[in-house]
């Protein structure tokens, strides 16, 4: 029996600056039997999305499929006439894009968009299509499968939207589904739910799938085969087990090594007697007028010289708000921030220049954090002139030093940010913050937008800088593995409040706050079958329940984590705020459960 998907000698060409055609995908070949999942893995620019799109017989503007065979169920995608290709794309192959939010039309109800493909092709009547969509919603474990289709895209969560998009792709019973980084933009806890749903559907329907990702741990859960791409060339191809345990290719080994958590780069020294660089107590902040939407409530923290405080939480947990409050961009309406003993004004505009200089922030998106109109040299020189009053020759020398410090060549100073890669931009972003000579660096998700290998390099750089300069840091991330590898102390936030604060060791040893446990077990592990070995999902929340949960998060009493908690007690957790109490590990958690109870629930000795 021949394979359902066959790609042979695929070459895709694009035009370069001089107008000449250059191959951006070189001679890629792989195949998949019916019901198999093939993963395409690689960094940005590896050609994985370009290859995946080619499976639909599509090349992006400026590109062209130059050579090779693409066969799906015996049909050659390259030989199809123009009118047949549309049918081919819907019926035989379908596509699930990375950003579901950008793929739905915000003006139409979900159900209408989901069934549109079937209606256009005249496969099903409207009623039959709706019924089928509801079936798929249920199969994908979406809450309220009957009703969810009648909502608009903004009324469902990101993880739900991604699953609705999967339903849309599966409506026409395609033989092949192409999933392009479908969970990359999601929180880990959501990612687990989505992966679980995808996996079940792929199994049940016997769909063949091509899964594009940069995350080996995710791929390990989904794929039967892995194709490793780099710079448009195949590096290695093999069964998932073989790639993970016995990679033959040097680049594959590099990818495996770059998975965060595979090595620890945090220093082990503790200087607890010193005065904290930054200390905060009872911070509260909100967005909108007159205390509109509370975003932070009663947050306290302490950063000692040379130490890294990791802050972790899902999107919406208030971790980026915390960074904005500490830097004064969003003035806190309660609480105090102390910098080396002196109280800071809540708003940046009221702080002295020396105080501003001491606390520097590095934003997540280097793309938007660097002014595209300024050269690298101008960007880094500005803090030098602004805080230290350097003249232009001194600035030039220092810019070269700083570039060297972040391991970039000095001749980059004349370039514009648009000429740089993502990793280079993030280093410039870092160099600009370092130019101020801060005593505390706040890193807000600085590695989240980067490829695994590049992110690992940036983390290494941060660890180095910390050793060299004795810099204290607040490192904000949604990725527990990253936090574990860089932070000395970890603060876990949920709904704008810290639920656990303590050392990294305390987090690893346990017992820990129930939310910390949920986070910890949601981080995909680099082994096959990890997903299947997970506990079954907790109670899926209906819409009404969710709304209640949200309301509870905003109300001042009751534990915000109540609705998702494994060890909750009705009538206790949802009525009174949970108390802070210290554990024997030194960690402070916000939970009514005692240490012994948590230890028992989590199986800690």
Partner 1 sequence: MSDTALRTARPRSTRTLPGWIGLAVVAFWLLVALFAPLITPHPPAAILRLGMLSPASAAAPFGTDFLGRDMLSRVIYGARYTVGLALLATVFASTIGSVLGILAAVSGGWTDAGLSRSADALISIPHLMFALVIVAALGSSLPVLVGLIAFSYVPGAFRIARSLAANVNAMDFIQVARARGEGTPYIVLHEILPNIMLPVLTDFGLRFVFAVLLLSSLSFLGLGIQPPNADWGALVRENIDGIYDAAPAVIAPAIAIATLTIAVNMMIDGLGGRRLRARLER
| Shortest separation between residue 44's beta carbon and partner 1, angstroms | 6
| Shortest separation between residue 207's beta carbon and partner 1, angstroms | 24
- For partner 1, which stretch binds (CB under 8 A), given 69-77, 158-166, 380-388, 526-534? 380-388
Could you tell me if 514 and 507 are in contact, meaning their C-beta atoms sit under 8 angstroms apart? no
* 147-165 per-residue burial string, b: 16 or more CB within 10 A, e: under 16: ebbebebeebbbbbbbbbb
CA dist 101 and 161 (Å) reads 7
- Residue from 58, 152, 386, 530 in contact with partner 1 (CB under 8 A): 386
Binding footprint of partner 1, residue count (CB under 8 A): 50
| Shortest separation between residue 41's beta carbon and partner 1, angstroms | 12
Q: Which is nearer to partner 1, 45 or 340 (CB)?
A: 45
- DSSP H helices in 406-542: 422-435, 452-469, 480-486, 504-509, 514-522, 530-533
Contact between 329 and partner 1 by CB under 8 A: the answer reads: yes
Burial class (CB in 10 A: 0-12, 13-18, 19+), 42: buried
CA dist 492 and 485 (Å) reads 15
- Report the DSSP beta bridge partners of residue 443: 362, 475
Contact between 375 and partner 1 by CB under 8 A: the answer reads: no
Q: Which is nearer to partner 1, 443 or 531 (CB)?
A: 443
Helix, coil or strand: residue 257: helix
- Residue 120's φ and ψ, nearest 5 degrees, are -60, -40
- Residue from 271, 371, 584, 594 in contact with partner 1 (CB under 8 A): 371
| Shortest separation between residue 371's beta carbon and partner 1, angstroms | 4
Torsion of CA 44, 45, 51, 57, to 10 degrees: 110
- Residue from 416, 481, 549, 567 in contact with partner 1 (CB under 8 A): 416
Could you tell me if 41 and 219 are in contact, meaning their C-beta atoms sit under 8 angstroms apart? yes
| Shortest separation between residue 378's beta carbon and partner 1, angstroms | 9
Could you tell me if 307 and 247 are in contact, meaning their C-beta atoms sit under 8 angstroms apart? no
| Shortest separation between residue 90's beta carbon and partner 1, angstroms | 24
Contact between 16 and partner 1 by CB under 8 A: the answer reads: yes
| Shortest separation between residue 70's beta carbon and partner 1, angstroms | 18
594 CB-near residues (< 8 Å, 6+ apart)? 581
603 CB-near residues (< 8 Å, 6+ apart)? none
- Any idea which residue has 């208030």 for tokens? 318
| Shortest separation between residue 184's beta carbon and partner 1, angstroms | 10
- For partner 1, which stretch binds (CB under 8 A), given 146-154, 197-205, 413-421, 476-484? 413-421
- Residue from 368, 392, 569, 584 in contact with partner 1 (CB under 8 A): 368
Contact between 549 and partner 1 by CB under 8 A: the answer reads: no
Q: Which is nearer to partner 1, 424 or 585 (CB)?
A: 424
Report how far apart, in Å, the C-alpha atoms of 211 and of each of 178, 199, 233, 592 are: 6, 11, 17, 42
Contact between 206 and partner 1 by CB under 8 A: the answer reads: no
- Residue from 365, 505, 549, 601 in contact with partner 1 (CB under 8 A): 365
Report how far apart, in Å, the C-alpha atoms of 279 and of each of 326, 342, 442, 474 are: 10, 10, 13, 12
- Residue from 353, 391, 468, 532 in contact with partner 1 (CB under 8 A): 353
Q: Which residues inside 70-109 make contact with partner 1, applying CB under 8 A?
A: 98
- Residue from 56, 222, 436, 490 in contact with partner 1 (CB under 8 A): 436
| Shortest separation between residue 7's beta carbon and partner 1, angstroms | 16
- For partner 1, which stretch binds (CB under 8 A), given 247-255, 366-374, 497-505, 509-517? 366-374
Q: Which residues inside 27-56 make contact with partner 1, applying CB under 8 A?
A: 42, 44-50
| Shortest separation between residue 46's beta carbon and partner 1, angstroms | 6
Report how far apart, in Å, the C-alpha atoms of 226 and of each of 49, 59, 166, 218 are: 15, 23, 21, 12
- Tokens representing residue 389 in the block: 């009053």
- Any idea which residue has 């940005």 for tokens? 44
| Shortest separation between residue 112's beta carbon and partner 1, angstroms | 28
Q: Which is nearer to partner 1, 230 or 497 (CB)?
A: 230
Contact between 383 and partner 1 by CB under 8 A: the answer reads: yes
Q: Which is nearer to partner 1, 324 or 513 (CB)?
A: 324
- Residue from 3, 11, 256, 348 in contact with partner 1 (CB under 8 A): 348
Q: Which is nearer to partner 1, 313 or 383 (CB)?
A: 383
- Residue 510's φ and ψ, nearest 5 degrees, are 80, 175
- Residue from 102, 418, 508, 555 in contact with partner 1 (CB under 8 A): 418
Helix, coil or strand: residue 30: strand
Residue count of the chain, please give it: 605
Contact between 414 and partner 1 by CB under 8 A: the answer reads: no
- Residue from 4, 7, 24, 453 in contact with partner 1 (CB under 8 A): 24
Considering only CA atoms, which of 326, 296, 294, 297 is closest in space to residue 309?
326
Q: Which residues inside 229-258 make contact with partner 1, applying CB under 8 A?
A: 232
Q: Which is nearer to partner 1, 48 or 196 (CB)?
A: 48
Report how far apart, in Å, the C-alpha atoms of 450 and of each of 100, 372, 445 are: 20, 19, 10
| Shortest separation between residue 390's beta carbon and partner 1, angstroms | 15
Q: Which is nearer to partner 1, 16 or 271 (CB)?
A: 16
CA dist 80 and 287 (Å) reads 54
Could you please report the per-residue DSSP string of 159-175? HHHHHHHHHHHHTT--S
| Shortest separation between residue 387's beta carbon and partner 1, angstroms | 8
- The binding site for partner 1 (CB under 8 A) comprises 14-19, 22, 24, 42, 44-50, 60, 62-63, 98, 232, 324, 327-329, 348-349, 351, 353, 356, 360-361, 363, 365, 368-374, 382-383, 386-387, 416, 418, 421, 432, 436
């Amino acid at each position: 029996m021949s394979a359902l998907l066959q790609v042979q000698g695929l070459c895709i060409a694009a035009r370069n600056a001089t107008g000449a055609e250059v191959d951006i995908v070189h001679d890629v070949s792989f195949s998949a039997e019916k019901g198999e999942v093939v993963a395409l893995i690689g960094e940005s620019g590896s050609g994985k999305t370009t290859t995946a799109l080619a499976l639909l017989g599509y090349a992006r503007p400026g590109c062209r499929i130059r050579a090779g065979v693409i066969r799906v169920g015996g049909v050659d995608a390259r030989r199809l006439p123009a009118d047949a290709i549309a049918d081919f794309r819907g019926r035989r192959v379908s596509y699930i894009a990375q950003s579901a939010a950008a793929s739905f039309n915000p003006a139409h109800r979900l159900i209408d968009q989901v069934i549109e493909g079937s209606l256009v092709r005249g496969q099903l009547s409207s009623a039959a299509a709706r019924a089928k969509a509801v079936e798929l919603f249920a199969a994908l474990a979406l809450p309220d499968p009957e009703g969810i289709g009648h909502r608009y895209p903004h009324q469902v969560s990101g993880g739900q939207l991604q699953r609705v998009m999967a339903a849309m792709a599966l409506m026409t019973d395609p033989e092949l589904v192409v999933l392009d980084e479908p969970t990359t933009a999601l929180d880990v806890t959501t990612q687990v739910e989505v992966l679980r749903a995808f996996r079940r559907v792929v199994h049940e329907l016997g769909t063949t799938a091509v899964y594009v990702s940069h995350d080996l741990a995710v791929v390990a859960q989904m794929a039967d085969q892995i194709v490793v791409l780099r710079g448009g060339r195949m590096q290695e191809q093999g069964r998932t087990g073989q790639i993970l345990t016995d990679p033959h290719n040097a680049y594959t080994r590099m990818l495996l090594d770059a998975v965060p958590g595979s090595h620890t780069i945090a220093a082990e020294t503790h200087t607890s007697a010193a005065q904290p660089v930054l200390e905060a107590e009872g911070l509260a902040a909100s967005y909108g007028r007159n205390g509109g939407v509370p975003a932070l409530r009663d947050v306290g923290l302490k950063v000692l010289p040379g130490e890294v405080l990791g802050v972790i939480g899902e999107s919406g947990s208030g971790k980026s708000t915390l960074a904005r409050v500490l830097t004064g961009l969003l003035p806190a309406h309660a609480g105090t921030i102390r910098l080396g003993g002196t109280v800071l004004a809540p708003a940046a505009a009221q702080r002295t220049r020396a105080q501003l200089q001491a606390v520097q922030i590095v934003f997540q998106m280097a793309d938007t954090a660097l002014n595209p109109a300024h050269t690298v040299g101008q960007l880094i020189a500005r803090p030098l002139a602004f805080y230290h009053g350097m003249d232009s020759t001194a600035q030039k020398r220092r810019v070269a030093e700083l570039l060297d410090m972040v391991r970039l060549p000095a001749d980059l100073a004349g370039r514009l940010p648009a000429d740089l890669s993502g990793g280079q931009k993030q280093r410039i972003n870092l160099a600009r913050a370092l130019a101020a000579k801060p005593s505390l660096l706040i890193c807000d998700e600085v590695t989240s937008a980067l490829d695994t290998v590049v992110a690992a390099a940036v983390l290494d750089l941060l660890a180095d800088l910390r050793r060299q300069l004795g810099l204290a840091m607040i490192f904000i991330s949604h990725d527990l593995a990253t936090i574990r590898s860089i932070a000395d102390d970890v603060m876990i936030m949920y709904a704008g409040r810290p639920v656990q604060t303590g050392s990294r060791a305390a987090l690893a040893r346990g017992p820990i706050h129930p939310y910390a446990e949920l986070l910890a077990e949601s981080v995909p592990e680099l082994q096959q079958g990890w997903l299947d070995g997970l506990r079954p999902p907790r109670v899926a929340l209906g819409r009404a329940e969710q709304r209640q949960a949200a309301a509870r998060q905003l109300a001042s009493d009751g534990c915000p984590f109540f609705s998702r908690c494994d060890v909750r007690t009705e009538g206790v957790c949802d009525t009174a705020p949970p108390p802070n109490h210290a554990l024997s590990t030194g960690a402070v958690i916000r939970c009514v459960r005692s240490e012994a109870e948590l230890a028992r629930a989590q199986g800690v000795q």
